[in-house]
């Protein structure tokens, strides 16, 4: 999976938030398990996933 910052959309409250992902992690795991920073909903509790909205590459060094 691509390392960088993924932007997710909470289906519960419509909040949009950034999720940094390392090269050895999967964004799909985050979409299923991560709590929304605004409403604290987890997709597992709601029976749904957060939507992936966008992706930002890490800055070049």
Mean pLDDT of 19-43: 84
Share of the chain above pLDDT 70, in %: 82
CATH code where residue 18 lies: 2.20.28
Q: Residue 41 gets which letter from DSSP? A: -
**Quick check: is 8 in a domain?**
yes
Provide the domain count of the chain: 1
**Quick check: is 11 in a domain?**
yes
pLDDT at 58 over 70: no
Domain membership of residue 12 as a residue range: 4-56
Mean pLDDT of 4-15: 87
Residue 54 pLDDT level (bands cut at 50, 70, 90) = confident
Strands (DSSP E) along the chain, which ranges? 4-9, 16-21, 51-56
Instruction: Quick: pLDDT tens for 11-25.
Output: 888 899 998 988 888
Q: How far apart are CA 44 and CA 35, in angstroms?
A: 9
Residue 37 pLDDT level (bands cut at 50, 70, 90) = very high
**Quick check: is 61 in a domain?**
no
């Amino acid at each position: 999976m691509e390392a960088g910052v993924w932007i997710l959309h909470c289906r519960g409250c419509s909040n949009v938030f950034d999720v940094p992902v390392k090269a050895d992690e999967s964004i799909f795991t985050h979409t299923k398990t991560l709590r929304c920073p605004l409403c604290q909903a987890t997709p597992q509790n709601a029976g749904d996933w957060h939507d992936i909205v966008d992706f930002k590459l890490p800055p070049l060094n």
